[in-house]
Amino acid sequence: MKSVFEITKGMTPVDTSYCPGCSHGIAHRLIMEVLDERGELGNTIGVVPIGCSINAHHFMNVDMCESTHGRAPAIASGIRRVHPDKVVFTYQGDGDLASIGAGEILHAAHRGEKFTTFFINNAIYGMTGGQMAPTTLIGQRATTCVDGRTVEQAGLPLKMCEILAAVPCAVYVERVMLNNPANVRKAKKAVQTALDIQKAGLGFTFVEFLSACPTNWGLAPADALKWVETEMASYYPIGNFRKPEGY
Amino acid sequence: MSKVLMKGNEAFAEAAIRAGCKCYFGYPITPQNEIPEYMSHELPKAGGAFLQAESELAAVNMAFGAAASGGRVFISTSSPGLALMQEGLGFICSAECPVVVLNVSRGGPGVGGIQPGQADYIQVTRGGYNGDAKIPVLAPAGIQECVDLIYEAFDIADKYRNPVLIFADGMMGQMMEPVELPPARGITPPEKINETKPWAITGTAQHPGRNVVYSLRLEPDVLEKHVEHLFEKYDAAAKELVRYKSMNLDEAEIVFVAFGTMSRLCAEAIELLDAQGIKAGLIRPISLWPYPDAAFDEIGPKCKVVISTELNMGQMLTDVKAAVAGRWPVGLINRTGGIVPSSLEIVERAKKLLEGVK
């Protein structure tokens, strides 16, 4: 009998630790599936952040290391110096990347580091229990802004793709969202393109995934996906912000 | 081998290159700037990679990434920069990666000044990192010794899978001395890394199974076991890495305890005191952790006072008093803020301390 579908070898055969409706599982699967399809699983080194996805190394079937909070891009820069021919990526959430690690991501992009950063933006700190992130939307409730974030209190949310698109050596910057099958397929395309450009050695590549965190948003999984589409995507427009010619 | 006259910082960088350093990461800070400068043009020629980090935070984490993936790594900084690296160093201890760190220290606290200091004694021997971890600390007294220690530190770091810290003060970084450089050992190519470092993350095609370098252990019993494992290594290091030099301990009435630049001034002071008929000796700890307690057992019966002699407010006193264990009075001769006393000042203050205990 011909096999029509197989689980990717890129994921280890264990259950993930993520909450029902969380987008991490989809993002993990997309990245690992692309690496598997390209025969790169044995040739890849990944860095996981501090946050829920510190556990990603239990699920992603490649060599990996953990990171101090926010410093994954610096760690990947070090790995890249030892292994110029490997596929290198960081996987980071929005508290990790846009807050404590804002300096490291900016300077990895600034240097045109030849690795890919996968950025999971769910507009909240997940692992620590739902505190406000730099990406939390105006009016969105979090445990450190229980009446909703205000501009007076915390400014306007940071748009990382727009910031990085202004950095000359960030050659591929794209925002995708994981709210429905069509957009998940588009997200896979972005992962493929980012890894192609990394392989070609053209510079720093960045894919932001608008993602759901039903637990900390206090929404049912289906409602959380709706919230990604209506609330998040209206402030964080999906699409390409920068790509090299020919991609 | 012939000797060459080199500035300390450049000799230290060259020693790391010859030890087979693959990666250097650094951020500008005085008085060690000649190290990143030298590395930027010399390390690539040797087949290594130089990267100027955006901060010391980034530098120590770049070092972690390079070490976790199997490269020999060297980082250097000066006192406030080392404070910024502490989180990363604790993480590297937990994740068990080898990194060689050079601190060309200056005066503090805070930004302090840029003249030589030893006020990082507590920072380097106790660490600023959280948790139960230890980092071996080796303190050279001159450029040749520092070169030799850096060269060897890569092997020590590999053996214990832990950072090793070389504690040189700014005086050593900025002065010139003749030095014999060790032979170049060459850099391990990436495809051979797992032959000596089977744990390194190099991609699963290169080794059996899957390698993960990590620190997080959420289950208390697992974390406790891990810390106990680290301390088995530290216990072994505490036995194997004790190093010191001593002089005149048999006859000495005054025993100086000093490391680094201060030990050289004490050696001069000992000659000056001898000319005045006062016998003095010296214990020079080279390993600051593990501290060479055993050296104090060599102190002879004529000893009247043990004097910790430091470029800080007496940070080593705790260790000196513990090693003395009540056997002799303990005094302190110190300057701080970047001031290095003359040997004459040491002589005068030592005589006063001696009179005070007679």
The pLDDT score that the predictor gives to residue A1 is: 81
* DSSP secondary structure of A146-175: TT-B-HHHH-SPP-HHHHHTTSTTEEEEEE
Helix/strand number for chain A, H first, E second? 11, 7
Residue B189 Cα, gap to closest chain A Cα (Å) = 9
Mean residue pLDDT of chain A comes to: 97
Residue A238 has pLDDT above 70, yes or no: yes
Average pLDDT, integer, range A240-247: 97
pLDDT at A162 over 90: yes
In this prediction, residue A165 carries a pLDDT of 98
Strand partners, B245: B284
Residue A57 touches chain B, beta carbons under 8 Å: yes
**What percent of chain A shows pLDDT beyond 90?**
98
Asked if residue B74 lies in contact with residue B157, where contact means CB atoms within 8 angstroms, the answer is: no
Q: What is the pLDDT of residues B207-255, one digit of tens each?
A: 999 999 999 999 999 999 999 999 999 999 999 999 999 999 999 999 9
Distance from CA of B341 to the nearest CA of A (A): 41
CB contact under 8 A, B64 and A68: yes
ipTM: 0.97
Question: Is the confidence at residue B75, as pLDDT, over 80?
Answer: yes
Contacts of A103 in chain B (CB under 8 A): 54-55, 57-58
Query: Which chain A residue has its CA at the smallest distance from B59's CA?
Result: A74
Gap from B138 CA to chain A (nearest CA, Å): 25
Mutation for testing the A interface, residue in B27, B212, B216, B222 having most A CBs under 10 Å: B212
Do A78 and B190 lie within an 8 Å CB cutoff?
A: no
- Among A81, A85, A86, select the one facing B23 at the smallest CB separation: A81
pLDDT of residue B119: 96
pLDDT at B214: 98
**Nearest alpha-carbon partner for B97 in B63, B123, B58, B68:** B68
Residue with tokens 């940071």: A158
A63, A68, A85 ranked by CB distance to B88: nearest: A68
C-alpha count within 13 angstroms, C-beta hemisphere, residue B251? 9
Distance (Å) of CA B247 to CA A236, B271, B279: 70, 11, 11
* Interface contact B190-A82, CB threshold 8 A: yes
Distance from CA of B181 to the nearest CA of A (A): 25
Asked if B67's CB is within 8 angstroms of A78's CB, the reply is yes
| Three-state DSSP class for residue B137 | strand
Query: Token digits for A21?
Result: 């409706």
Q: Where are the beta strands (DSSP E) in chain B?
A: 4-7, 23-26, 49-52, 73-77, 99-105, 137-138, 163-169, 176-179, 212-213, 244-247, 254-257, 280-285, 287-289, 305-310, 330-334
Q: In chain A, which among 114-143 make CB contacts under 8 A with chain B?
A: none
Q: Which of A45, A71, A77 sits opposite B203 (nearest CB)?
A: A45
**Chain B residue at shortest CA distance from A107:** B54
> For the residues A155-176, what does the mean pLDDT come to?
98
Mutate to test the interface with A, among B22, B201, B214, B215 (most CBs of A within 10 A): B201
User: What is the mean predicted confidence (pLDDT) over B22-48?
Assistant: 98
pLDDT at residue B1 in the model = 65
CA–CA separation, A183 and A210 (whole Å): 10
**pLDDT over 90 at A7, yes or no:** no
Domains of chain B, first to last: 4-240 (3.40.50.970), 244-357 (3.40.50.920)
Q: Do B66 and A74 touch (CB under 8 A)?
A: no
In this complex, do A61 and B210 lie within 8 Å of one another by their Cβ atoms?
A: yes
Question: DSSP letter at A106?
Answer: H
Asked if A78 has any chain B CB less than 8 Å from its own CB, the reply is yes
| Alpha helices per DSSP H over B208-325 | 220-240, 260-275, 317-324
Q: Is the pLDDT of residue B294 over 70?
A: yes
A53 to chain B, any CB pair closer than 8 A? The answer is no
| pLDDT band with cut points at 50, 70 and 90 for residue B358 | confident
Q: What is the pLDDT of residues A44-85, one digit of tens each?
A: 999 999 999 999 999 999 999 999 999 999 999 999 999 999
> Is B284's pLDDT higher than 70?
yes
Mean model confidence pLDDT for chain B: 97
Q: What is the pLDDT of residues A201-221, one digit of tens each?
A: 999 999 999 999 999 999 999
Residues B333-341 have a mean pLDDT of 96
Q: How many CB atoms lie within 10 A of CB B18?
A: 19
* Residues in CB range of B158: below 8 A, 6 or more apart: B72, B98, B196, B197
> Which helix (H) or strand (E) segment is A182 a member of?
helix A181-199
Question: Is the pLDDT score of B334 beyond 80?
Answer: yes
Q: Which residue has the tokens 């229980």?
A: A146
Q: Please report the pLDDT score of residue A197 as a whole number.
A: 98
User: Of the given ranges (A1-15, A86-100, A120-134, A150-164), which has the lowest mean pLDDT?
Assistant: A1-15
How far is B178 from B292, CA to CA, in rounded Å? 28
d(CA A104, CA A71) in angstroms, rounded, equals: 6
B→A contacts (Cβ < 8 Å), by residue, are 22-23, 25, 49, 51, 53-55, 57-59, 61-71, 73, 87-88, 91, 95, 190, 193, 201-206, 210-216
Radius of gyration of chain B (CA): 21
Distance of residue B348 Cα from the nearest chain A Cα, in angstroms: 50
Which domains, ranges and CATH numbers included, belong to chain A?
24-242 (3.40.50.970)
Rounded Cα distance between B309 and B270, Å, is 13
- The predicted pLDDT at position A6 comes to 85
Closest Cβ–Cβ partner in A43, A66, A107 for B214: A66
- How close is the nearest chain A Cα to the Cα of B232, in Å? 23
The position carrying tokens 């110029």 is A84
